[in-house]
Amino acid sequence: MCLINWYYKKVEGVRGLTVETRKPIPVKEAIRKVMKFAEIGSNEEVLLPDSYGRYLAEDLIASHDVPPFHKSPYDGFAIRAIDSKEASQLNEIEFKVIDEIGAGFVTTKKVGPFEAVRIMTGAQMPYECDAVVMLELTKEYERDGKKYMSIKRSFRSGDNVSFQGEDTKKGTPLVEKGTRINPGVQALLATFGYEKVRVSKKPLIGIFATGTELLEVNEPLVPGKIRNSNAYMVQGQVIRSGATFRYFGKLNDQLDECFEAIKNALDEVDILITTGGVSVGDYDYLPAIYERLGANVLFNKIGMRPGSVTTVAELNGKLLFGLSGNPSACYVGYELFVRPVVKTMLRSYTPYLQSVDAILEEDFPKPNPFTRFVRGAATFKEGHLVVKTSGLDKSNVVTSLSGANVLIVLPGGTRGFTKGDKVTILLLEEEQGTNTLWAEK
């Protein structure tokens, strides 16, 4: 695919060199373009204890009634309600206690008129009984070596009984495939006997950090160099979104070296992420690498800040995300473009970040033609959701990321924003997601 087809336009630079100008596309259009290549991934089985946070690969349907039998919700006595009909403060009714059952046991006795079975919470109701009297409402005593209890009020049929199927009936669809497994889903899986659970396989995401200036975390600082933070930040984002990663290491800004490494890695992963090298600099080799690979570049400029140079390419259906080298831009690029693809691969029907309104706690006077995604910290104040920046709002900063739990969306082309304005925020730590992109609400 030639450069011209990537919306590239070459113009003459001031020094006679060719400098490329790129045509930005709106963020929502960029997301749509990427999502066209988001396909549901394959499945695997995991042990129930390992299923937390995974995505169900098949619908969970009740395979039996819950509870599977009528049971007592209290520690007390199971009786035939009809026998208590005449009981009152002035008319104490006596029952002969013919058996005692704890949870897990079933009485073998047939309960006759004015007979009761001492029953504990969770035990199966004797067949003939239809009400339970809590221990506190009874008087217990023995006579001639036999056990009795008496009550001073009447009970109706069904009083204090947990009925078979009252929680759910056999055949009821309970949890849809594509749902993230939370502790409640784990309880259901256990209830219905799933020792192993069919879940969506975690997409494997390959990560490269590009940049000759990069040091690894264990290396001391030397002039001109910085430590590679993007690779580790992205690893966390990959895990937070439900995928898994293979870190291929860092690459120098050297075309052949980068090309070979990226080409070889592609076959081993479902998605490939690179950070850095996507802009127009002399050593920004990703555009040339996509061309050499014969990849179809979906876009290389987006009307957003940070992350305007985020580039996404596709090769035989596989997505290559060229995230910006600037840490904040890289972070935003992952959340807006990679995350929904991962969620779709996991079968989630709600792949997008959940968006809600919040009250801005500070001014953003500077107008910007592009939509801004400001890293923010949202909290509740007097019952209202309020938000402020989590640090310096610049593409190249790393410090604003640690305190960010939301992205504040400030649409482009506006006059700026002031304290007290209502703004949309995208929730980064919220797991449920939504099927509606905030920009299309």
Ligand X SMILES: Nc1nc2c(c(=O)[nH]1)N[C@H]1C(S)=C(S)[C@@H](COP(=O)(O)OP(=O)(O)OC[C@H]3O[C@@H](n4cnc5c(N)ncnc54)[C@H](O)[C@@H]3O)O[C@H]1N2
Nearer to ligand MOO, 278 or 346 (CB): 278
Q: Give the separation between CA 441 and CA 436, rounded to whole angstroms.
A: 6
Residue from the set 72, 179, 279, 371 that interacts with ligand X by CB under 6 A: 279
Nearer to ligand X, 228 or 434 (CB): 228
CB within 8 A of 284, min separation 6: which ones? Answer: 253, 276, 277, 278
Nearer to ligand MOO, 355 or 371 (CB): 371
Contact (Cβ atoms closer than 8 angstroms) between residue 368 and residue 410: yes
Nearer to ligand MOO, 306 or 351 (CB): 306
Q: How far apart are the first and last CA of the chain?
A: 35
Q: One symbol per residue from 155 to 194: x for binding ligand X (CB under 6 A), - otherwise; what is it? A: ----------------------------------------
Contact (Cβ atoms closer than 8 angstroms) between residue 302 and residue 31: no
Nearer to ligand MOO, 210 or 324 (CB): 324
229 binds, among Mg ion, ligand X, ligand MOO, none (CB under 5 to 8 A by kind): ligand X
CB within 8 A of 389, min separation 6: which ones? Answer: 362, 374, 375, 376, 377, 400, 408
Residue from the set 76, 211, 287, 351 that interacts with ligand X by CB under 6 A: 211
115 binds ligand X per the rule CB under 6 A: no
**Hey, which residues between 316 and 345 contact ligand X (CB under 6 A)?**
324-327, 329
Binding-site size, ligand MOO (CB under 6 A): 9
138 binds ligand MOO per the rule CB under 6 A: no
Which structure tokens are listed for 19?
Answer: 């400098």
* Pairing mode, strands 146-151 and 139-143: antiparallel
231 binds ligand X per the rule CB under 6 A: yes
| Distances 166 to 68, 176, 299 between C-alpha atoms, Å | 9, 21, 54
Contact (Cβ atoms closer than 8 angstroms) between residue 193 and residue 63: yes
Q: One symbol per residue from 363 to 402: x for binding ligand MOO (CB under 6 A), - otherwise; what is it? A: --------------------------------x-------
154 binds, among ligand MOO, Mg ion, ligand X, none (CB under 5 to 8 A by kind): none
25 binds, among ligand X, Mg ion, ligand MOO, none (CB under 5 to 8 A by kind): none
**Hey, which residues between 270 and 329 contact ligand MOO (CB under 6 A)?**
305-309, 324, 326, 329
Contact (Cβ atoms closer than 8 angstroms) between residue 315 and residue 296: yes
Assign 6 to helix, strand or coil: helix
Q: What single DSSP character describes residue 3?
A: G
| Least distance between ligand MOO and beta carbon 420 (Å) | 27
Q: Give the separation between CA 223 and CA 213, rounded to whole angstroms.
A: 10
| Least distance between ligand MOO and beta carbon 176 (Å) | 37
Binding site for Mg ion (CB under 5 A): 279, 281, 284
**Helix boundaries (H) for 193-281:** 230-240, 255-266
Residue from the set 9, 280, 399, 420 that interacts with ligand X by CB under 6 A: 280
Residue from the set 209, 312, 358, 408 that interacts with ligand X by CB under 6 A: 209
Residue from the set 113, 281, 294, 369 that interacts with ligand X by CB under 6 A: 281
CB within 8 A of 426, min separation 6: which ones? Answer: 335, 353, 354, 355, 373, 406, 407, 409, 438
Q: Give the separation between CA 138 and CA 77, rounded to whole angstroms.
A: 9
Only segment of 123-131, 154-162, 225-233, 261-269 that touches ligand X (CB under 6 A): 225-233
Nearer to Mg ion, 390 or 395 (CB): 395
Spell out a b/e string for 128-143, using b for 16 or more CB atoms within 10 Å of the CB, else e. Answer: bbbbbbeeeebeeeee
Q: Give the separation between CA 110 and CA 245, rounded to whole angstroms.
A: 62
Closest CA to 235 of 210, 258, 205: 205
395 binds ligand X per the rule CB under 6 A: yes
| Least distance between ligand X and beta carbon 416 (Å) | 20
Nearer to ligand X, 214 or 426 (CB): 214
Nearer to ligand X, 122 or 412 (CB): 412
Q: Give the separation between CA 278 and CA 313, rounded to whole angstroms.
A: 11
Q: Which residues pair with 216 in a beta bridge?
A: none
| Least distance between Mg ion and beta carbon 15 (Å) | 18
Concatenated DSSP letters for 165-176?
A: TSSB-TT-EEE-
Q: Give the separation between CA 65 and CA 172, rounded to whole angstroms.
A: 9
**Hey, which residues between 11 and 50 contact ligand X (CB under 6 A)?**
none
Q: Which residues bind ligand X (CB under 6 A)?
A: 209, 211, 213-214, 226, 228-231, 275-281, 284, 306, 308-309, 324-327, 329, 395-396
Q: Which residues bind ligand MOO (CB under 6 A)?
A: 305-309, 324, 326, 329, 395
